[in-house]
Structure 1
Amino acid sequence: MVVRPLNPGEVDAVAELIHRSTNDWYKKSLGREIFSGRPRDCRIFPETYESLDPGCGLVVELDGKLAGVCFYHPRETHVGVGIMAVAPEYARQGVARMLLDKVLAEAGTLPVRLVSSAMNLDSYSLYTRAGFGAVMAYQDMRIPSDAPLPPVPMTHGSVRPATTADLFPMVDLEENLAGIRRAKDLAHFIQNPGGHWRTMVYRDQSGKIDGWLTSVDHAGCRMIGPGVMADEHVALALLHAQLSVPRGGWPIFLVPTHESYMIAELYRWGARNVELHLMQVRGPYTQPTGLVMPSFLPESG
């Protein structure tokens, strides 16, 4: 097996690998597929990752075929591990561990963060054996299309679309509340390449930004997140604003399991649980002082 950088001409092959590998696991383990569209819809993953971090996509080649793929994101405060997929026919042959070892070597002394399914014990074991620890649990939730949203939650601030002038206040807020900094990601969300990103900020009465939340609406990924907020009231206002925008389908969003007030309110909105995910970290970790809603694209924990 050989680990090497992803070549530009392999985007379609990587998209097909992500589609096939992920659907294979979900169908065998949970009786359903996660990607309902075409394999090429999963191009959004390599295209986004390569746009943000050229050369940080890794593949394992075995006998001239792509056996696995993984993406990583070097940031100011940490390294994020993005989607990892292994072709079903190469499962349990050390492909994922080979990719992870390469990412850890590239990370050096920086903390490494990821979000992974709590229902996939193989991946959980892969990461914990490599020194990761689970630091936060999330409920994947979705509001069905037949559940009308309630009125806008009452707050003392307002929600509006993010602009380039908001970039560094947003970056600073995430560092203050969650202990990580990733200006490159936030600039990508605001600039909206491809037209499928939507980012909103919450401002209090003085005009200070107390939260932000982005989303992606694409056939390969419909999700609200990532975002950080000062408290659950800000989070609910931002989430309501995102859910109120017409989309191609109803997205999922991740809510910390300990946020009981927010979760109870979301149940009142008609939300249902879809899955559970864990934030796992290797290295130093600071407990957030605000509310964090992560995403799978791009993952940074």
Structure 2
Amino acid sequence: MTIRTMSSDEASTVGTLIHESTNAWYKAKLGHEIFTGKPEDCKIFIDTYQLLDPGCCLVAEDEGKIVGACFYHPRETHVGVGIMAVRPEATGKGVGKALLDEVIKRAEDLPLRLVSSAMNLDSYSLYTRAGFGPVAVYQDMRIPPDVELPPPPAGPGSVRMANVSHLFGMADLEEEISGIRRAKDLAHFVRNPGGYWTTFVHIAPSGKIDGWLSSVDHAGCRMIGPGVMRDENAALALLHMQLSQARGGSPVFLIGTHESYLIAELYKWGARNVEIHFAQVRGSFSPPGGIIMPTFLPESG
């Protein structure tokens, strides 16, 4: 088995691998597929990652066939570990470990961060054996499309569409709250290449940004996040605005299980739990100073 960088002409192959391997696991373990669209829909992951981080996808090749892939995202403060996919027939053969070992090697001394399903004990074991540790638990929540949202929550401040003038404030706020900085991700969300990103900022009465929240609406990924907020007021206002947008489907969003007030309010809105995820870190980590809503495109933990 050889671990190497994905070539540009292998993008469709890797997109199909993500679709087929992920659906195979969900079908076998939970009785349903997670990607309901076409395999080519998963190309959004490759397109986004290659635009942000060209050359940062590793593939595992065995006898001339790609049997696994893993994306990674070098940032100012850390390295994000992205989607890892292994062909069902190659599971248990060390493919995931070989890919992860190479990502760890390339990260050098930077901390590594990821978000992984709590339902997949194989991946949990893979990461914890490699030195990752869970630092937060998130509820994946969704509001069914037939549920009518309540009126916008009342509270100080206002929600606005984000623009490039907000980028430095957004980046500073995320670093203050979560300890990470990833300016080019935020620029990608705000500039919206492809036309499926939406980003809002919450402006406090003082005029400063005290929260921001992005979302993606694409057949291959419908999620609200990532985002950070100083408090529940900003979080609820931003979530309500995102949920009020016209979309092609019902988006998933991740809320920390310790955010009891936020979760209670979202239950009142009609939110339901669909899965559990762990944020895991290998290396230094500081407790957050506010609310964090992670996502899978691109991952940050």
SS in 2 for 1:193: coil
- Aligned partner letter, 2:13: A
How far apart, in 2, do the equivalents of 1:215 and 1:145 lie? 17
Distance 1:61 1:46 in 2: 18
1:65-107 Cα distance to aligned partner (Å, 9 max, x none): 1100100000000000000000101111000000000000000
Letter in 2 for 1:204: A
The residue number in structure 1 matching 2:155 is 155
2:218 aligned partner = 218
* Partner Cα separation in structure 2 for residue 275 and residue 121 of structure 1: 14
- Which digits, 9 at most, give the CA deviation of each residue in 1:157-185, with x for residues without a partner? 00011000000100000001111000010
Residue equivalent to 1:108: 108
Q: What's the C-alpha RMSD, in Å, of the aligned pairs?
A: 0.5
Give 1:291 deviation, angstroms: 0.2
Aligned counterparts, 1:71-90, within 5 A: 71-90=71-90
Instruction: Find the counterpart in structure 2 of residue 120 from structure 1.
Output: 120
Q: Which residue of 2 aligns with 1:164?
A: 164
TM-score (ref. length: structure 2) = 0.99
- Supply the distance in 1 between the matched residues of 2:22 and 2:155 (Cα, whole angstroms): 40
**1:25-104 pair list within 5 angstroms:** 25-104=25-104
Secondary structure of the structure 1 residue equivalent to 2:264: helix
| d(CA) in 2 for partners of 1:212, 1:239 | 10
* Equivalent position amino acid for 1:250 in 2: S
Counterpart-to-counterpart distance in 1, 2:279 and 2:150: 30
Q: Which runs of 5+ in 2 are unaligned?
A: none
Gaps of 5+ in 1: none
Q: Which runs of 4+ in 1 moved over 3 A?
A: none
User: How high is the sequence identity, in percent, across the aligned residues?
Assistant: 67
Give the match for residue 282 of structure 1. 282
Structure 1 residue matching 2:40: 3-state secondary structure = helix
Equivalences for residues 241-280 of structure 1 within 5 A = 241-280=241-280
Q: 1-side partners of 2:69 and 2:44: how far apart?
A: 14
Q: CA deviation at 1:232?
A: 1.3
CA distance in 2, matches of 1:21, 1:233: 39
How far apart, in 2, do the equivalents of 1:233 and 1:118 lie?
A: 28
Secondary structure of 1:276's counterpart equals strand
- What is the match of residue 143 of structure 1? 143
1:176 aligns with 2:202: no
Give 1:201's aligned residue: 201
How many corresponding residue pairs?
301
